[in-house]
Amino acid sequence: MPTPAELAAMRRALELAERGPTGVNPQVGAVILSPDGDILAEGWHRGAGTPHAEVDALSQLAEGEARGTTAVVTLEPCNHTGRTGPCALALLEAGVSRVIYALQDPNLKAAGGAERLREGGVSVESGVLAEDATALLDGWLEVQRRGRPHVTVKWAQSLDGRAAADDGTSRWITGEEARADVHVRRSAADAIVVGTGTVLADDPALTARTSAGELRERQPQPVVIGSADVPVDAAIRRHPVEPLIYPTRDLHRVLTDLKDRGIQSVFVEGGPTLASAFLRDGLVDEVLVYIAPVLLGGSRLALGDLGVPTMADARRLRTASVTPLGDDLLILAHPVSEGDA
């Protein structure tokens, strides 16, 4: 069982971890305690290629000062050599006698540090404040588990399921409150994705803005998928973040590349064709549907072919919430996997 000093050190390590950037690497914090439970050093991971949290903390101690100490870390010390060496080995060589960590590393290439430490005679305890660490690393952990970013597909529709009138006009199906909610969610996402068809038809800026029309401090990475050329004067090219353009229909390839770039969450806003493709390929974790109390009729459906030839093949969703936004409704739902059905 961890001592009160060790629990306090883990809370401090979690605070330190938040200072690090999100992305390809996890946010990790570390605290070195003396045998009496006093904090001797603190560290956190500052990004790819920089010292890991444990090494950052150890670097602040004089030679031999870490002998007999306790290292408190938010994630299992790594056991592989990448841009930096194994943290488990660094702790062993420093003479640390006890290591406490919150979460086991889900990355098989990096895992195994705890076992290496135990083999080296170090006392190891895991699972300390694991729920707090999980909350901190939720996005990164999901990427490790799925092998791709979290994908949210959003669309706005009329009450009868249309995304636009028959002449193609769609501004505005929903009201101001619903549109403001979209911009908040854009800002929270790492990337916003549309197809070239949407770029050519609507020329969207894909920025996250306030109700006053000003740019929010955090802007998503704009992403365009499709074979058509993006015009040189397209609004998306004036986005504060340079857009990524993928001339392909291979969504798996796109998501893999985005994962490798450190993108953890993707917000798909690209119209019926792209939304349907993500759903058809089983690449959606969350669906956001903004429904306006308006009837349009016609053929401009909010979704296209989902590969559902019969009712038995219907894509089932589980509703997580229904939120009124002015006269509109926001339905948040999650696809039901076969194991959940």
- Residue 193 and residue 308 in one domain: yes
Structure tokens at 200: 């050519």
Residue 340 lies in a domain: no
Residue 278 lies in a domain: yes
CATH number at residue 296: 3.40.430.10
Q: Which domain holds residue 212?
A: 148-335
Euclidean distance between CA atoms 139 and 143, whole angstroms: 6
pLDDT of residue 56: 94
- Residue 177 and residue 265 in one domain: yes
pTM of the model: 0.81
Euclidean distance between CA atoms 89 and 106, whole angstroms: 19
Euclidean distance between CA atoms 136 and 117, whole angstroms: 25
The domain boundary residue, chosen from 90, 118, 143: 143
- Residue 179 and residue 210 in one domain: yes
Distance, CA of 278 to chain centre: 17
Q: How many CB atoms lie within 10 A of CB 134?
A: 12
- Residue 153 and residue 62 in one domain: no
pLDDT of residue 168: 77
CA 324 vs CA 240, 268, 292: distances in Å: 32, 22, 10
Residue 41 lies in a domain: yes
CATH number at residue 63: 3.40.140.10
- Residue 184 and residue 288 in one domain: yes
The domain boundary residue, chosen from 103, 125, 143: 143
Residue 341 lies in a domain: no
Q: Which residues are catalytic?
A: 54
Amino acid sitting at position 205: A
Are 201 and 226 spatial neighbours (Cβ–Cβ below 8 Å)? Answer: no
Residue 195 lies in a domain: yes
- Residue 202 and residue 138 in one domain: no
- Residue 213 and residue 321 in one domain: yes
Euclidean distance between CA atoms 208 and 233, whole angstroms: 20
- Residue 157 and residue 87 in one domain: no
pLDDT of residue 28: 95
pLDDT of residue 101: 96
The domain boundary residue, chosen from 115, 143, 171: 143
Q: What are phi and psi of 225, to 5 degrees?
A: -120, 130
Residue 324 lies in a domain: yes
Q: Give one DSSP letter per residue of 18-63, joined into a string.
A: TTSPPSSSPP-EEEEE-TTS-EEEEEE--STTSPPHHHHHHTTSPT
- Residue 159 and residue 137 in one domain: no
Total tally of structural domains belonging to the chain? 2
- Residue 179 and residue 263 in one domain: yes
Q: Divide the 341 residues of the chain into consecutive groups of 10 and give the mean pLDDT of each group.
A: 93 95 88 95 89 94 94 92 81 95 84 90 95 92 90 94 83 89 92 91 87 88 92 92 93 95 90 92 94 91 88 90 95 79 49
- Residue 66 and residue 171 in one domain: no
Residue 330 lies in a domain: yes
- Residue 91 and residue 214 in one domain: no
Structure tokens at 82: 């990448």
Residue 127 lies in a domain: yes
Q: Give one DSSP letter per residue of 207-255, joined into a string.
A: --B-TTSPBPSS-PEEEEESSSPPPTT-GGGGSSSPPEEE----HHHHH
